[in-house]
Amino acid sequence: MTLEVPEIPKTERVELPARETALLVVDMQNDFAHPEGALFVPDAPKTIPVIQGLLERFREKGAPVFFTQDWHDEDDPEFKIWPRHAVAGTWGAEIVAELAPRPGEKVVKKLRYDGFYGTPLDHLLRLAGVKNLVVVGTVANICVLHTAGSAALRWYQVVLPEDGTSALTPFDLQAALRQVTFLYQGKVTTAAGIVLL
């Protein structure tokens, strides 16, 4: 059986007002983005320089930066689905050193795939006046997709830089891009295509 991937619309340049746009870095933690991590995503390390570049640009413009951090208890039911990972307070749960949050940047600890589920993320974004959300990180079709979808359902305009997002397989990445553009009317671009005004 041959499976055709529907054409995924890509936007070359996305102009966004810095005052109303946040960068959300999803789960770039040692267990996912470091080769010694419990659930290492092989393509995650190559997104680190891309995300670093976006962080620099957002910080220079004074645009808000947020991070999600997968954060589990030792007996989390999710470990029936996935091997033990991102256990609260462990090295694996820490955000990779190259992307360490700066003082004042919000880190939202989450219990499930969706960064909004059971967290204050929506409240914090609204306090910051955010209307547009640039989402990067890992894993594309899991935590990135569920968080981006949840943002869109709350009427944030979602932008996903493809080169700042990683998945376990190329199919999984394409599936996430398809859902973001088709289901949630988000925009897929590259990090270089993000223009903060």
Residues identified as active-site: 27, 110, 143
Q: Strands, E, within the chain: which ranges? A: 14-16, 21-26, 65-70, 106-110, 132-138, 157-161, 165-166, 187-189, 194-196
Residue 42 has which token pair?
Answer: 């092989």
DSSP conformation class of 156: P
Determine the longest span between alpha carbons in the chain, in angstroms. 52
Separation of alpha carbons 168 and 183, rounded Å: 22
Residue 162 has which token pair?
Answer: 């493809």
Rg over CA atoms, the chain: 16
Q: How far is CA 143 from the centre of its chain?
A: 7
Q: Which of 41, 29, 21, 34 is nearest to 68 (CA)?
A: 29
The residue whose two tokens read 């990090």 is: 191
149, 135 contact by CB (below 8 A): no
